[in-house]
Amino acid sequence: MEELASKYNPADVESKWYQYWLDNGFFKSKPDGREPYTIVIPPPNVTGVLHMGHMLNNTIQDILVRRARMMGKNACWVPGTDHASIATEAKVVNKLAQEGIKKTDLTREQFLEHAWEWTRKHGGIILEQLKKLGASCDWDRTGFTMDETRSKSVIKVFCDLYEKGLIYRGVRMVNWDPKALTALSDEEVIYKEEHSKLFYLKYYVADDDMSGETGAEGEIIHRDAKGRYAVVATTRPETIMGDTAMCINPKDPKNRWLAGKKVIVPLVNRVIPVIEDEYVDIEFGTGCLKVTPAHDVNDYMLGEKYNLQTIDIFNDNGSISEAAGMYVGQDRFDVRKQIEKDLDAAGLLEKTEDYNNKVGYSERTNVVIEPKLSMQWFLKMEHLAKIALEPVMKDELKFYPPKYKNTYRNWLENIKDWCISRQLWWGHRIPAYFLPQGGYVVAENEEKALELAKAKSGNNNLTIADLRQDEDCLDTWFSSWLWPISLFDGINNPGNEEIKYYYPTSDLVTGPDIIFFWVARMIMSGYEYQGDMPFKNVYFTGIVRDKLGRKMSKSLGNSPDPLDLIDRFGADGVRMGMMLSAPAGNDILFDEALCEQGRNFNNKIWNAFRLVKGWEVKEMEQPESAQKAVKWFKQQLNKTIAEINDCFDKYRISEALMAVYKLFWDEFSSWYLEMVKPAYQQPIDKETYEATLNYFETLLKLLHPFMPFITEELYQNIKERDAKDSIMVSLLPKVEEYCEKNINRMEITKGIIAGIRNVRANKGISPREAFEMYYKGSDFDGKNNSIIEKLANVSKITEATDEIKGAAATFMVSTIEISIPLGNNVNAEEEIKKMEEEIKYLEGFLAGVEKKLSNEKFVANAKPEIVEKERKKKSDAESKIATLKENIAKMK
RNA sequence: GGUCUUAUAGCUCAGCUGGUUUAGAGCACCUGCCCUACAAGCAGGGGGUCCUAGGUUCGAAUCCUAGUGGGACCA
């Protein structure tokens, strides 16, 4: 066979094996008699590029899918992309702007043509990138939230919910994004702490008759040459143009005198009533609240309650509207600066204070949200929240880590109706059709709409041209919430073969940041439309941060390019780097050094393989040491497989990886291979060789879900394989019974070998010089003597019944004392000092144990096996101390 | 402000229903080694008042309370 390079080069093999897997259709899944294992991908934005979050997320999914496949399940990982309404539309608008085209100059159809072109050009790049990572998705199933099947599903669900009375249309206070020019849901608003100013404004009393003063304790009256006035504290002085009332708390003695009066809005000079409501916080500012029903959610509620006028002073883009009567056309933030000056000049600004408050920003465009009254479509959430809560709280649908159950419950219990309309073109257009004489109908298509419209209006002469479809489209999440159903066409074809087979899906892997946007809503739609959970388990990954704990962002430039990492460390190395740092739910502090560790591990596997494949095989007797090693490794292997299975059951994936890592590196490479390795240029016996290849193959299988490429490469090189024999469709070993005693014996053996090597290192004695070894202690059974002889270069092993001739280096392993006679090489004083230190430690330990045992309450209350353990500790420690003391005596 | 969560080695974390020696791992660090699988390696080594203060208990890193410091979500 050809000579293998001493360093593993991932680039040589990765694309080759990915293509091989594709060519053989190993990623494909069709319903059959096997147990299904299904994951639907969290669809990334169609025009997005791969970032570290995707890497983490998809590595985990691929590990789970590959493992399930190797457990004999019918594994199906469905990929796809999201049309990402706002984000994509914003990108298209930007691109058009660069070409000098304004969106408003285009018709809806023209704009959509540009958007589709953009999508065709940039769409799906991210899926190609996932292939580089090794993702074993069934690419034939790739879905898009705006393709035909998914679009039909969305419209059908909208109509259904409308018919059920769960969708309604109305004027409500919504979060308005003045840049994207659309309403947003509550979840799309991000609150940020800001340093701002609190402005104290003077509202003079109108037609003041000087009445109302009570002289009661706490009363505060402001007056100056122009008369009496109230002081209102606000962070948004520019909204005074929309003031239609002032509100005080009826229990507030400071402002009692204002009750029933009217006051004058500064600069605007509008006279507004003073109303009273306990909603007002007496302690905030002066206890006087300006009420602007059009521009604040709480003020809106007051407006409804007291039937106040609403004056909308903003245009959709955040500039001041005609209705304001002043500053018309200027930007809201410019006006805030200007009005401060104008108020001050007019003597209407009492004072300003520094103030920290939380301001809502648009998740997508990062501009300050404007609360705005507008006509929107809403989905009632009460019923949906109810059906989605219980299964999670009862752990029928499990969250990993479970702490997110709390977050989930909190949201569902305080949920508000979902604003699902967006004033955008890129998305699913709302299937509502307005009639010429007013009113509307909701229908899946124009024909049905026309029928309904005729019936509704009683006008049989209506034509489709008479109907006007709602211009708005739906929130992106209104399509992704159906993803686990719509990918299997369960909305359009309820009960079809695929949905019956694949639904509920098995695991969902996603970030906790979209628990409300997506996870919760999928659970709602799952129960509403399938009567069952959309997935059995949700694995929440952490957020990927840099090693200093900062979020990865473009502006910080601290986000590595995943493809660049793959180039440098190989996909397997990067996958391992991600997983080493990623316990479920914890944020992961990503450090390139972890990819390096991954790459180093690849190299270790590669070199172990080079060793094994370099052996010359011969029919000959199996050495005893090899026979013992082969027997032991089987036990160790099974023990670790059990451990790995347990980790996976608990979704402790990084721990599972660490277990395989140590199994391969420490147990297999450092111990097993050294035990069976023939002397330089000597052949190996066939029996050992074959056992070793078998172990190697098993290890590769265990490693495959984590590191698909190198494991396939080596699996194919272990022996000649059939064209269709791939590691990715092989079966993982089932865990077998293992002998704990055998493993413990080897642990002692390893301890002895390490001890002897240590003696050599300390004394500077060459490994070539053979030692004799004496042991003392009943725990030594001599069964691994051949291994000790081989790995520690020991010529003879004898029980130390007689006094050992000459000076010896001694050490203890468990309760066994090992002595290596070294003649003049031993410095007796040094040895004695070492032993005395050991005795000191043991005596301290013994004292602790004795204290426990002499405590009557401990002996009486503790479980008998615990007491027994303590007694064993005591006797072990005592015997060790005795041995050491004896030894010191001998050396003196 | 509300809810939740967390604090263990230089870093990232295990440590499960309290008792597996006087707390572990990986990485990093230090000291030796190019000994033909592997320097992307090998052999050794150091390193912790388990955040603080109380409490429960025969026994606390583990359970409870308070405080302090992180983090997340919601308003």
User: What percent of chain A shows pLDDT beyond 70?
Assistant: 98
The candidate with the shortest Cα–Cα distance to A45, out of A88, A91, A90, is A88
A7 CB contact with strand B at below 7 Å = yes
pLDDT at A805: 55
Does A697 score more than 70 pLDDT?
A: yes
Question: Beta carbon of A283 within 7 Å of strand B?
Answer: no
> A184-204: per-residue pLDDT in tens?
888 888 888 778 888 999 999
- What pLDDT is stored for residue A349 in this prediction? 92
Q: Is the model's pLDDT at A678 over the cut of 60? A: yes
Closest residue to B37 measured CA to C1′: A611
pLDDT at residue A207 tops 80: yes
pLDDT for A721 beyond 70 = yes
pTM of this prediction?
0.91
For A589-634, the pLDDT digits (tens) are 788 888 999 999 999 999 999 999 999 999 999 999 999 999 999 9
CB A202 within 8 A of CB A258: no
pLDDT in tens, A301-334: 888 889 999 999 999 999 999 999 899 999 999 9
pLDDT at site A1:
41
Contact A402, A585 (CB under 8 A): no
Please say if the pLDDT value at position A843 is more than 70: yes
> How would residue A366 be classed by pLDDT, with cut points 50, 70 and 90?
confident
The alpha-helical segments, DSSP class H, found in A764-812 are 785-792
Q: Which residue is nearest to nucleotide B35 (CA to C1')?
A: A767
Residue A543 in contact with residue A551, Cβ under 8 Å? yes
Q: Which nucleotides of B are covered by protein (CB under 7 A)?
A: 2-6, 11-14, 19-22, 25-28, 35-45, 57-59, 71-75
Using only the alpha carbons of chain A, give its radius of gyration.
38
Residue matched to tokens 């004083």: A829
Amino acid identity for residue A36 in this structure: P
Among all strands, which nt has the closest C1' to A358 (CA)?
B75
Name the residues in A524-563 having a C-beta closer than 7 Å to nucleic acid strand B. 547, 549
ipTM for this model? 0.94
Residues of A 593-622 whose CB lies less than 7 Å from any atom of strand B: 593, 597, 599-600, 602-604, 607-608, 610-611, 614
Q: Is the pLDDT of residue A2 over 60?
A: no
Q: Is the CB of A670 under 7 A from strand B?
A: yes
Question: What number is the average pLDDT over the span A482-509?
Answer: 97
- Which nucleotide has its C1' atom closest to residue A599's CA? B40
CA of A691 to C1' of B34 (A): 31
| A:185-214 Cβ neighbours of strand B under 7 Å | 186-187, 189, 191
Encode burial over A88-112: b for 16+ CB neighbours within 10 A, e otherwise: bbbbbbebbeeeeeebeeeeeeebb
Tokens read off for A667: 């147990």
Q: Where would I find the beta strands (DSSP E) of A459-534?
A: 468-469, 473-474, 505-510
A673 CA: nearest nucleotide by C1': B37
Among the listed ranges A83-92, A294-303, A575-584, A616-625, which one has the minimum average pLDDT value? A575-584
